[in-house]
Amino acid sequence: MSHDTVEAAARFVFESKLHARDFTVVWHADEPLVVPPAWYVEAFARVAALAPPEIAVQYAFQTNGMLINEALCDLFLSQGARVGVSIDGPPFLDDTRRRTRAGSGTRASALKGGLCERGASPRILSVS
């Protein structure tokens, strides 16, 4: 998605009054963390520029967790973003359903992002 598209979507939502006082933008489609943190910094700035002053815009990410690194942790924590990690049950189930291109399970990689150690509380989304 381009930053112009982010801006157009935010403008539509805010001008159409489709938002609530506490408004959350959820980044959830395929894998939202494939873009660098700087992309989100720019996207957040564009949304903030359009948000009415009485609106508290929050951010949430739904991810497979495999790309979480220090830079993304910094972004999440600086923005107070909520993070959901997709886990499909215990390792024997999760690693059967969620596999890398090389065929290995993703569970260990999904959990190594370090969010808990940095003070964030990830949520878990399970799909059966």
pLDDT at 57: 93
pLDDT at 126: 65
Quickly list DSSP for 30-80: S-GGGS-HHHHHHHHHHHHHHS-TT-EEEEEEEE-STT--HHHHHHHHHHT
Count the Cβ atoms, other than its own, within 10 Å of residue 111: 19
Q: What is the pTM of this model?
A: 0.82
pLDDT at 46: 97
Of 9, 119, 101, 39, nearest in space to 64 by CA? 101
Count how many domains the chain has. 1
pLDDT at 100: 80
CATH of the domain at 73: 3.20.20.70
Q: Could you say which DSSP state residue 31 is in?
A: -
Task: Find where tokens 């929050």 sit.
Answer: 58
pLDDT at 85: 84
pLDDT at 29: 81
Q: How far is CA 88 from the centre of its chain?
A: 18
> Domain range holding 43?
3-125
pLDDT at 115: 66
Q: CA Rg, the chain, in Å? A: 16
pLDDT at 116: 62
> Which residues face 62 on adjacent strands?
84
**Distance (Å, whole) CA 100 – CA 39:** 25
pLDDT tens across the length of the chain (128 residues): 999 999 999 999 999 987 778 889 999 887 899 999 999 999 999 999 999 999 989 999 998 888 888 899 889 989 989 988 887 778 888 788 888 888 888 777 777 765 666 666 667 666 65
Of 96, 78, 94, 76, nearest in space to 86 by CA? 94
pLDDT at 8: 97
